[in-house]
Structure 1
């Protein structure tokens, strides 16, 4: 079934009944960073599966020098397609206060996709293996990890939204990578994250590649009237707009 005929039915964003539009892909990569294909190749693949909108969200940071060329490539592609194309960058939260590893020039961007790939704890950034080791050693509890993760995520999207439209990449995926079930995320913490998303206008990406967030969390976000969007997180053009996980959740 082509993307132009697909939807996931459920309670829609803003508390209304509706469908999640699978003709939109809110996070794709290109050869400028983590991807493998040129912007034009990705756009052609999106056209072929019937998408109507595409957000380029290559990974960027303080040392990134290619944003102008990247944005120019997307702007040129707009003249060759009817798809709505947006220029974004995926950026990491790197401090407990939500400090972001931002590229030097945000003027090129339509949006920031905020990710937490390591846990900022004091002066450290703990990857999934280090988190697991500390939980196993009793230094951290799973509940403490969840609390810190949610709080830094909230701070990160609040900071990002000061600059440009924000979206949340693969929310809470670090828990699963650390072997922690997201059931440790209490209703109060879910409420904090949902409130932050609504107040900042942040949309939550449902990532096909990362299988994140879980079906449980997707439902909690939707029940809390948080806007959720499909995101392939595609690194290859052939993965753009191809939904399997999203249809299950």
Structure 2
């Protein structure tokens, strides 16, 4: 846990979400990403690629990672990124996926669509529901409920770019409020879920990061890189962590 008011510099020495050519929207190889991590001075790298229920190449991915030479001083981890499906916490994973020894090190859950009561809602569909009378509060409750249940159901989970779905549907993190953030952060701590602060999407925000710190949840940094030149290159993450640090400091100073 990072102590309130004292940001952890070593956080930026890790990149916990980096895509390779195993993802159809990335252009760098595993070897190029590992070399980029060394060049950036990182000591931790999670190679992470997109999966869905129909994905069959995870054993090939793991074998390819294992075959790569790893520079001294760099720890290479693996992950698969899968989307949160619904408010019950279902995640779009291949059946029989091995997690832990002999399998991937983490399941990286993405909020690519909104977790509806009957399955994933696209941003457009969610906006229509909000326009038709779904209240912002009820929608946010669904998102937090789905988040918590996914953390409870998913072994070795890591939340990717969490709350990036909100601006896509016309909502914002500012509307979550302290109680929802506290429940979400407490669940991350209780389940041992990692929560990444994501460079590409610039989320979660300072209030959410501060809530995670107060709960004792583990925060990590990620670029969500799709090209090797992005690996370990932080700007937005550093700003978000510093802002959260300021919030923690002000809370400490209150009488």
SS in 2 for 1:44: helix
Partner of 2:75: 84
SS in 2 for 1:13: coil
- The aligned length equals 233
Q: What are the equivalent positions in structure 2 for 1:138-153 lying under 5 Å apart?
A: 138-153=132-147
Residue among 234, 238, 242 paired with 1:247: 238
Unaligned runs of 5+ in 1: 1-11
CA distance in 1, matches of 2:96, 2:67: 20
CA RMSD of superposed structures (Å): 1.7
1:14–1:227 contact (8 Å) kept in structure 2: no
Partner of 1:72: 63
CA distance in 2, matches of 1:207, 1:216: 15
TM-score (normalizing by structure 1): 0.87
CA distance in 1, matches of 2:172, 2:84: 22
Q: CA deviation at 1:97?
A: 1.3
1:28–1:55 contact (8 Å) kept in structure 2: yes
The answer to which of 108-117 and 23-32 deviates more is 108-117
2:87–2:115 contact (8 Å) kept in structure 1: yes
Matched, 1:157 2:151: yes
SS in 2 for 1:228: strand
Residue among 122, 125, 143 paired with 1:130: 125
CA 1:50 to 1:178, structure 2 compared with 1: closer, same or farther past 3 Å?
Answer: same
2:186–2:212 contact (8 Å) kept in structure 1: no
CA 1:160 to 1:86, structure 2 compared with 1: closer, same or farther past 3 Å?
Answer: same
The answer to which of 125-134 and 89-98 deviates more is 125-134
Q: CA deviation at 1:157?
A: 1.3
Q: Runs of 4+ in structure 1 displaced over 6 angstroms? A: none
Partner of 2:107: 112
Q: CA deviation at 1:196?
A: 1.0
Q: CA deviation at 1:122?
A: 2.6
Unaligned runs of 5+ in 2: 241-255
TM-score (normalizing by structure 2): 0.85
CA distance in 1, matches of 2:163, 2:133: 20
Q: What are the equivalent positions in structure 2 for 1:179-194 lying under 5 Å apart?
A: 179-194=170-185
